[in-house]
């Protein structure tokens, strides 16, 4: 293992050195064309702090459908409190107008949904091994109470109030409730009121072990292995009634008819013992080709029976519901002065907004416009109140060049880690995004260190990894600021959310947001129940050295 790690470190180090040379070459080429054209000059390197304002934003009514994965279970964050996540999903046959043959008899019905996992070498027998550690939250040994109901609420595809618009569903995770709600633009849905037949009532603990399936006996036995999954047997009479006995009926003739006939399943998660709530939460991959309900049956005459299967998958609408019971009160912060503490919490929790140039008090002329000062300081003036442009590119010409800009973010050392110890936040990542356009920053897009297999090691130039000694993060925003200077970008606000998968850049809408600048958030922020607390930008943050700052390193000619 040590040899493997050493071999991995060298190319990464080499890559970073090469990147630094490329960056330096690019920087000085730009300076020579934009600055040194007036005559050769010596350079000096300096830095400045920009007057940012970092404040909290409480998140409500987040889009909970069309997520890449789904959370299921109960998680008690020691700092924030409890979150329960349940799933409502449609199911649909993989083929229609089935012929179940003569005298069909169900042998078994197997429900299987893989957990989100990653390869983890091989086991003692040389077979592929897996890990679900990245997608399992809470006590790994704890159990979850899970009740699977037949859902009678119809999840429609299109919004009847908007032409050709997809119907989205939004969270309603009110403290104190024990029911699972969702919102639409004009309706509140309580899925507990639409739960009918109990299809399965069980207690389970997610496991990272591969699923072994053996077919046949003795020398003819064949064992196959599939990734870790929630796998359970379902009641045979129920599925005979709702599927096998419907042969030749319209209900099994097409997807639309089936969705209306069998409106889906409701996976309701709860702590096993409400009086002493414990548990865990896991990411489920219902979109996997291995996620299905398989009916195994035999058919034919008594002396010539054959085996067959009929399969239903989870293609269709599916959504998460959340119930929150927090220890802290999450509220909107102070955009003008910034907040002392910033609360990043997933699953309808809270995020932070960073105004890169502060939120200017327009009624107070004594407070300068930091953005205008920044532009004046870095762009070349045309002498008439405007700025010079490069005729070939249309970009503004600069008299100073930004070499690097990064947001330095410190974690609150007093955060409650409960029984998990100092490593509880070790693998946290902070995801920064362009709030105005609800997309990744340009620095994210050009970061070459993407790792599709291990998100913790992905995009480490732009987003960095948590410094476990100083408990800080460094978010690089060099090109984001250059975009403001060179191309007059107006994207001066950055959103910060906690993410356990920075590769997931999909966005989720906010229903009826009261903030014109904030209409959506990264979907990855919904798919973690975890939370963290950061130091903000408010002047009362102590010690001052842990206050959030935006530091800019730049180069300029000494005679400038």
Low-confidence ranges of the chain (pLDDT < 70): 1-41, 359-368, 559-560
Q: What is the pLDDT of residue 18?
A: 42
Angstrom distance (rounded) from CA 297 to CA 305: 10
In this structure, the strands spanning 211-215 and 170-171 are unpaired
Instruction: Collapse the DSSP code of 443 into the 3-class scheme (helix H, G, I; strand E, B; otherwise coil) and give the result.
Output: helix
CA distance 315 to 98: 18
CA distances from 290 to 38, 293, 315, 543 (A): 65, 9, 12, 52
> CB-hemisphere CA count at 13 Å for 120?
16
**Angstrom distance (rounded) from CA 72 to CA 319:** 11
Task: Take residue 5 and report the two structure tokens written for it.
Answer: 């790690």
Place of tokens 């987040």: 62
Q: Measuring CA to CA, how many Å separate 75 from each of 62, 203, 227, 235, 421? A: 19, 15, 23, 29, 16
| Token digits of residue 182 | 């969702």
Report pLDDT for 117.
Answer: 92
Cα(158)–Cα(263) distance, rounded to whole angstroms?
A: 16
Query: 86 forms bridges with which residues in the sheet?
Result: 321
Q: For 267-279, give the DSSP string.
A: EEEEES-TTS---
Q: Could you give phi then psi for residue 375, rounded to 5 degrees? A: -65, -45
Could you give the CA distance from residue 345 to residue 75 in angstroms, rounded to a whole number? 13
Under DSSP, the state recorded for 67 is -
H/E segment holding residue 105: strand 105-114
- Sheet containing 181-184: which strands, arranged edge to edge? 170-171, 181-184, 187-190
Using the Cα atoms of residue 129, residue 134, residue 135 and residue 140 in order, give the sign of their dihedral. Answer: positive
Residue 252 confidence (pLDDT): 98
CA distances to 6, 216, 449, 457 from 10, rounded to whole Å, are 7, 49, 14, 15
**SS3 breakdown of the chain: % helix, strand, coil, rounded to 5?**
20, 40, 45
**Cα–Cα distance, 425 to 410 (Å, whole number):** 13
Rounded to whole angstroms, the Cα distance separating 183 from 516 reads 20
Rounded to the nearest 10 degrees, how much is the dihedral formed by the CA atoms of 172, 176, 179, 180?
Answer: 30
Q: How far apart are CA 294 and CA 310, in angstroms?
A: 6
Strands (E), 332-487: 341-345, 350-355, 401-410, 429-434, 439-440, 472-476
For 148-181, give one letter per residue: b (16+ CB within 10 A) or e.
bbbbebebeeeeeeeeeeebbbbbbbeeeeeebb
Does pTM surpass 0.95?
A: no
Predicted pLDDT of residue 560: 55
The whole-number pLDDT of residue 8 equals 38
């Amino acid at each position: 293992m040590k040899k493997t790690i050493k071999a991995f470190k060298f190319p990464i180090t080499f890559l970073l050195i090469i990147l630094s040379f490329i960056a330096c070459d690019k920087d000085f080429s730009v300076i020579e064309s934009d600055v040194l054209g007036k005559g050769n000059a010596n350079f000096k390197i300096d830095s400045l702090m920009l007057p940012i304002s970092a404040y909290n934003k409480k998140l409500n009514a987040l889009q909970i459908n069309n997520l890449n994965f789904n959370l299921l279970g109960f998680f008690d964050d020691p700092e924030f409190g409890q979150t329960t996540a349940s799933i409502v999903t449609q199911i649909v046959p993989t083929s229609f107008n089935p012929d179940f043959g003569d005298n069909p008899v169900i042998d078994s019905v197997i429900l299987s949904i893989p957990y989100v996992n990653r390869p983890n070498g091989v086991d003692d027998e040389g077979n592929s091994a897996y890990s679900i550690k990245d997608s399992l939250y809470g006590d790994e040994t704890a159990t979850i109470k899970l009740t699977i109901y037949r859902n009678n609420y119809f999840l429609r595809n299109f919004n009847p109030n908007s032409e050709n618009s997809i119907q989205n569903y939004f969270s309603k995770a009110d403290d104190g409730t024990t029911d699972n709600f969702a919102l639409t633009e004009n309706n509140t849905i309580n899925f507990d009121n639409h739960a009918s037949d109990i299809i399965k009532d069980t207690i389970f603990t997610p496991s990272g072990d591969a699923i072994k399936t053996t077919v046949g006996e003795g020398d003819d036995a064949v064992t196959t292995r599939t990734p870790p999954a929630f796998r359970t047997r379902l009641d045979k009479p129920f599925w005979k009634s709702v599927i096998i006995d419907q042969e030749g009926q319209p209900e099994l003739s097409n997807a639309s008819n089936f969705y209306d006939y069998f409106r889906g399943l409701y996976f309701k998660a709860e702590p096993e013992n409400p009086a002493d709530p414990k548990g865990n939460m896991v990411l489920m991959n219902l979109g996997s080709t291995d996620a299905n309900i398989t009916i195994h049956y035999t058919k034919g005459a008594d002396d010539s029976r054959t085996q067959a299967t009929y399969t239903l998958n989870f293609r269709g609408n599916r959504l998460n519901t959340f119930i929150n019971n927090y220890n802290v009160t999450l509220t909107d912060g102070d955009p003008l002065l910034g907040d002392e503490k910033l609360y990043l919490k997933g699953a309808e929790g809270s995020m932070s907004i960073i105004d890169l140039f502060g939120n200017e008090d327009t009624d107070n002329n004594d407070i300068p416009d930091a953005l205008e000062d920044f532009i004046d300081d870095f762009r070349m003036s045309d002498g008439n109140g405007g700025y010079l442009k490069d005729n070939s590119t249309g970009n503004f010409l600069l008299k100073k060049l930004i070499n690097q800009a990064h947001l330095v973010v410190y974690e609150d050392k007093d955060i409650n880690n409960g029984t998990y110890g100092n490593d509880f936040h070790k693998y946290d990542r902070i995801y920064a995004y362009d709030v105005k356009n609800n997309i990744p920053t340009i620095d994210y897009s050009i970061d070459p260190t993407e790792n599709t297999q291990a998100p913790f090691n992905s995009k480490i130039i732009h987003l960095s990894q948590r410094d476990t000694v100083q408990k800080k993060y460094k978010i690089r925003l060099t090109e984001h600021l250059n975009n403001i200077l060179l191309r007059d970008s107006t994207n001066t606000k950055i959103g910060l959310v906690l993410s356990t998968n920075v590769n997931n850049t999909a966005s989720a809408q906010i229903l009826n947001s009261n903030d014109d600048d904030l209409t959506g958030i990264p979907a990855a922020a919904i798919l973690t129940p975890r939370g963290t607390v950061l130091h903000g930008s408010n002047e009362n943050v102590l010690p001052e050295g842990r206050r959030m700052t935006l530091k800019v390193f730049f180069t300029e000619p000494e005679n400038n």
